[in-house]
Structure 1
Amino acid sequence: MRKQWLLSCVLLGLVAAVVAGLAYVHDRVSQILHDRATLGVLQLSKNLQTFHARYGRYPSKQKGIQELVDRGFAETVPRDPWNRPYRYRLEGGVPVVLSHGADKAPGGEGYDADISRRVEPVSQSLIRDEPLPAARGTSTVGPEAEKPWCAPGG
């Protein structure tokens, strides 16, 4: 009887360890997919900023992300990690790129939450290739300006 009780405890412990391991793996996979969707939204945002810098406008609501493909800013219409196309909409003339998350539905919490980004135009100084102002306490004149940047003491 004592051996059966011991065997039952060992088996129960193994089952608990497997379940805990699966829960951990599921959480990690969900985090990775969420992170990939976030990176996808950021990449589309950058493509839209570049499009805006070149053409002075964003793609229309009708053409959306497809216009990025048509004009060579993307190879294909990208899909989120859950195999759904990223959403594109205009709010007051400003694009918003989003994925509906793991549950593929608007809203949600945690890994089911929407991942979105409002795309703002790039600074005009960056578009015209103007030099950025020097940081305070640095000089862009003289022999120091020609040295490559290195870490302090290097």
Structure 2
Amino acid sequence: MFVINSVMSRKAAQSGFTLIELMIVIVILGLLASLVAPEMFSKVGSTQKKVAATQMLSFDTALEIYRLDVGDYAENLEELRNSQKSGWDGPYFKKKIPLDPWNNPYQYRTPGDNGQGFYLASYGKDGQLGGDGDNEDIIHQ
């Protein structure tokens, strides 16, 4: 029995990680994070642009159905949810009209430019016309 207790107490004393082993693991995780994080964060901007383009495509579909029922495009995006116009058979957009991925309202007007029925855009992260990178305008055409 003495031998068994001696072996058990040695195993109990050796269980767990040493400080050096923990430091090595932390350094390896830090190196991996420094390699992976920039790649992942660079995707955020392009993902937000894709979300804006997809939401604008949903608006386009709703606006076209609205035009078929009412005879003209909505004066504002909220009319896709509630309108008193003759022929309105909505709501054409069931959820609350969303903001763009940067929490700015979408830019909408009718008639659009160059004879188009409407103009629909997101002005990017800065919410201002023009810009590059994350501030680049996304215009639905």
Q: TM-score range by the shorter chain?
A: 0.5 to 0.7
When the two structures are superposed, what TM-score results if normalisation uses the length of structure 2?
A: 0.63
Partners in 2 of 1:48 and 1:69 — Cα distance?
A: 11
CA deviations 1:52-71 (Å, max 9, x no partner) are 111110112xxx00101114
Task: Give me the whole-angstrom Cα distance separating, in 1, the residues matched to 2:68 and 2:59.
Answer: 14
Shift of 1:105: 1.9
Pairwise CA distance, 1:29: 1.5
Which of the residues 80, 97, 108 maps onto 1:77?
Answer: 97
The CA distance in 2 between the partners of 1:95 and 1:117, in whole Å, is 9
RMSD: 2.3
Measure the CA separation in 2 of the matches of 1:20 and 1:101. 28
Q: Structure 2 counterpart of 1:110, which letter?
A: G
- For residues 30-109 of structure 1, the aligned pairs below 5 Å read 30-60=45-75, 64-70=76-82, 71-74=90-93, 75-90=95-110, 91=112, 92=115, 94-109=117-132
The structure whose residues are more often helix, as a share, is: 2
TM-score normalised according to structure 1 size: 0.58
SS of residue in 2 equivalent to 1:59: coil
- Higher relative contact order (CA closer than 8 Å, sequence separation 6+): 1
| TM-superposed deviation, 1:111 | 3.2
Unaligned runs of 5+ in 1: 1-10, 119-154
Q: Which of the two has higher C-alpha Rg?
A: 2
Deviation at 1:44, TM superposition (A): 0.5
Q: Assess if the C-alpha contact under 8 Å between 1:41 and 1:115 holds in 2.
A: no
**How many corresponding residue pairs?**
104
8 Å CA contact 1:66–1:77 kept in 2: the answer is: yes
The reply to whether residue 21 of structure 1 matches residue 36 of structure 2 is yes
| 47 and 81 in structure 1: CA distance in 2 versus 1, 3 angstrom threshold | same
How far residue 113 of structure 1 moved from its aligned partner, in angstroms, is: 1.2
Q: Name structure 2 gaps, 5 residues minimum.
A: 1-26, 83-89
